[in-house]
Amino acid sequence: MLIRNRRHFLSGLPAAAFAIPGVFAEVLRETEKQTEGPFYPDKLPLDTDNDLIRVNDSLTPSVGEITMLSGRILDRSGSPLRNVMVEIWQCDANGHYLHSGSNNKDKADKNFQGFGRFLTASNGEYLFRTIKPVDYDNRTAHIHYAIKSKGKRAFTTQCYMEGHPTNAKDGILKKITDQKARATLIVPFHKQSSGIYSAKFDIVLGFTPELT
């Protein structure tokens, strides 16, 4: 199902989910940058909204554990950044990316969008409905992020699941030896009573994206 009204979609979340303290005791730590990876879509899908589990108006959802992935885009002082373009992309439940060079093409989930975009609101918030990430090949489960500035890539990173057993073996994640820096990329994925997962991944930028 397409998400045509951002305000309506966000209204189901508790207000505390995006609360920002009025005063920060210190400057926030910047989110660690990471490589884009080889599988940013080489051909973007026609549907690039923030609901990745349904493509266009298809009634068939993708395979996987539904996850509400939210967060805020902030500067180092904790101020929210509005009208920032957030992109995410990830493999489907069978380990296939929306990319011609990805593995498992014969198992690709045609009902998984694989890529989404969201323009942040006035309080810097974003929201995606997607699936809980899965391991593939020699990589631990993760979701790729990009921030666009003036239509160009300004920042890239990856989001990981707290406590996931293969995190310690992941070659890209292991390159970050500073534990505090690594912690900026790892967040808990909580399973709700409904069976849907929720995760909150805030991104702190060391610059202010140019929006025009």
For residue 203, what are the contacts with CB-CB under 8 A and spacing of at least 6?
31, 71, 72, 73, 74, 86, 145, 147, 155, 157
> Which of 97, 126, 145, 197 does the annotation list as catalytic?
97
For residue 171, what are the contacts with CB-CB under 8 A and spacing of at least 6?
138
> Which of 142, 145, 160, 197 does the annotation list as catalytic?
142
Give the SS3 label for residue 9: helix
Residues present in the chain in total: 212
Is 139 among the catalytic positions? Answer: yes
> Which of 54, 72, 129, 139 does the annotation list as catalytic?
139
Give the SS3 label for residue 105: helix
> Which of 72, 96, 144, 145 does the annotation list as catalytic?
144
CA distances from 155 to 88, 147, 206 (A): 12, 5, 10
Is 164 among the catalytic positions? Answer: no
Is 97 among the catalytic positions? Answer: yes
> Which of 96, 126, 129, 136 does the annotation list as catalytic?
136
Is 126 among the catalytic positions? Answer: no
Q: Catalytic residue numbers?
A: 97, 136, 139, 142, 144
